[in-house]
Every structure is written in structure tokens, then in C-alpha cells.
């Protein structure tokens, strides 16, 4: 960690391509480290008109295996199983979640199941797993939702301190794939600027690997198409 930190100029704003090269080069753990992006936004999430949240399909995926849970009944449950859902159920799945047995990373529900899922808000909400129609996770098209979740879809949501944090790939990805993913996510967050945000919206962007030090990005280079 110390030798990796020595290779980074803390006072420098790194052009995005150079930042990717440096972070990839410092990812020397024995496992395939996740490349993580953090954006410090000029918003106060305590105000409803300054919330930043959405989903985006990363063009090169995340490199992470996502377990998908689906609340559905009848034909929609069969459709979900056929589409590759890891866990499918209705009231029985709700009982498992209430017991603390959450065997999925993303949660999808058909609209008719929301009265059941709604009772799980205190459990799923804090974990960022509560299905939301605005994010495409409450839908009749469960097959498409499952495909998106498993294919590299990233949900981003601003935290209390005004920070958006998300994985944009793995250290084993090519530099080109990481660049494309990073620009896709940064562009999506930039377009999601809420009406209540005043002044500078994107204040700082940092890129790091799971075990490596972070570098600060030159914001215009990260926003360039």
C-alpha cells in the first residue's frame, strides 16, 4: 500500500485515461480487485429536490456475479425462473427475508406483489434493495429486468454526505472497457442533476481499486464523450 501510494501525486488532477492506467497498475492484490468510482456532489440529499438516484447499464458490465431475487406468482414466477432468477417466491420469500435470509443482491417485483414487498421496507430499504418502479425493478417484464440486473446494470444513489459510490469494473478489464464504463456512469450522474442543486454540481471524482489508493480525476476529461 505504501509503495502504491508513493506512485500517486495527491495534488494532481489525473486525466481519465492516465488515472485508469495508474489505478490498474496499483491493483496488485491476489484477487481481481473492483475498480471503484466516487463522486462528491454539491447536493444536500436531505432535501427531496436534491436527491440523485438512478440505474445505468454499463456497456462492459461490472465483472460481478449478481444474485437476483424476484417476487412474483404464477406465470410471472415461471418467467422469472426461466430468465435465470436465483430466488423466486411470494409470501414464502417474504417470510425468508423477515427471518434475515436474504439470498440475493438485487430485488425485482411484479406490481401485484408490492403489498407483500411493502411490508419488507424496513429490511430491504436500508440495504438499497427495495423495488422501485422508477428504477425498473417493479415491472411486469421480469425477464428484461433480470437480464439487465445480471448484465451489468448499476444502481447509483447519493449518500447522506453527498457522495455517489459505485463499482465500474474489475482490475482485469482492459483500460478501454474501464474508460467506457466510467464515462457512462459519470455521464448518467451528470444528467441526473436535480433541480434543487445550486452552484457546482460535480465537485470531485476519485478512482481507486479495492485495496489501492485513490486518484483524483480531472472532471472535464471524465465528462468528455
pLDDT at position 134: 86
Point out the domain boundary residue: 126, 150, 174: 150
What's the domain count of the chain? 2
- Rounded Cα distance, 180 and 158, in Å: 22
Last residue of a domain, one of 150, 170, 194: 150
Judged by average pLDDT, the poorest of 65-74, 148-157, 165-174, 200-209 is 148-157
The residue among 134, 150, 166 that closes a domain is 150
What pTM did the predictor assign? 0.78
Identify whether residues 15 and 32 lie together within a single domain. Answer: yes
> The domain that contains 183 carries what CATH number?
3.30.190.20
Separation CA 15–CA 216 (nearest Å): 9
Q: Residue 155's pLDDT is what?
A: 86
pLDDT tens, 166-181?
999 999 999 999 999 9
Quote the mean pLDDT of the chain: 90
pLDDT at 209: 92
Place of cell 448484465: 151
Average of pLDDT values for 10-14? 86
- Is residue 1's pLDDT more than 60? no
Q: Give the side-chain half-sphere CA count within 13 A for 201.
A: 16
CATH number of domain containing 113? 3.40.50.790
pLDDT of residue 2: 60
Convert the pLDDT of each residue in 51-90 to its tens digit. 898 889 899 988 888 899 999 999 999 999 999 999 999 9
Residues 213 and 144 in one domain: no
Main-chain dihedrals φ then ψ at residue 145, nearest 5 degrees: -65, -40
Higher pLDDT, 175 or 148: 175
Alpha-carbon gap, residue 204 to 188, rounded angstroms:
16
Q: What is the pLDDT of residue 5?
A: 61
Residues 40 and 111 in one domain: no
Ranges 138-142, 144-148, 209-213, most confident: 138-142
CA 116 to chain centre: 25
- Whether 73 and 115 map to the same domain: the answer is yes
DSSP-based three-state secondary structure for 82: helix
Convert the pLDDT of each residue in 85-122 to its tens digit: 999 999 999 999 999 999 999 999 999 999 999 999 99
Q: By residue range, what is the domain housing residue 106?
A: 68-150
Q: How high is the pLDDT of residue 4?
A: 58
Q: What is the pLDDT of residue 51?
A: 87
Asked if residue 158 and residue 146 are part of one domain, the reply reads no
Confidence of residue 7 (pLDDT cuts 50, 70, 90): low
Amino acid at each position: 500500500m505504501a509503495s502504491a501510494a508513493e506512485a500517486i501525486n495527491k495534488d494532481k488532477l489525473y486525466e481519465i485515461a492516465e488515472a485508469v492506467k495508474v489505478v490498474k497498475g496499483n491493483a496488485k492484490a491476489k484477487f481481481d480487485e473492483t475498480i471503484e468510482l466516487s463522486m462528491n456532489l454539491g447536493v444536500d440529499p436531505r432535501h427531496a429536490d436534491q436527491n440523485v438516484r438512478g440505474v445505468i447499464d454499463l456497456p462492459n458490465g461490472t465483472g460481478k456475479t449478481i444474485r437476483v431475487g424476484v417476487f412474483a406468482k404464477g406465470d410471472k414466477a415461471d418467467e422469472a425462473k426461466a430468465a435465470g432468477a436465483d430466488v423466486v417466491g411470494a409470501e414464502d420469500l417474504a417470510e425468508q427475508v423477515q427471518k434475515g435470509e436474504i439470498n440475493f443482491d438485487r430485488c425485482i417485483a411484479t406490481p401485484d406483489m408490492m403489498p407483500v414487498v411493502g411490508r419488507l421496507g424496513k429490511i430491504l430499504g436500508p440495504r438499497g434493495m427495495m423495488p422501485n418502479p422508477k428504477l425498473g425493478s417493479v415491472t411486469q417484464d421480469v425477464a428484461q429486468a433480470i437480464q439487465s440486473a445480471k448484465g451489468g446494470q448499476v444502481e447509483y444513489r447519493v449518500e447522506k454526505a453527498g457522495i455517489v459510490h459505485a463499482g465500474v469494473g474489475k482490475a482485469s478489464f482492459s483500460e478501454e472497457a474501464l474508460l467506457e464504463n466510467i464515462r457512462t456512469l459519470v455521464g448518467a450522474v451528470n444528467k441526473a442533476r436535480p433541480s434543487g442543486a445550486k452552484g457546482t454540481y460535480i465537485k470531485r471524482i476519485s478512482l481507486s481499486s479495492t485495496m489501492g489508493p485513490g486518484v483524483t480525476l480531472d472532471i472535464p476529461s471524465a465528462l468528455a464523450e
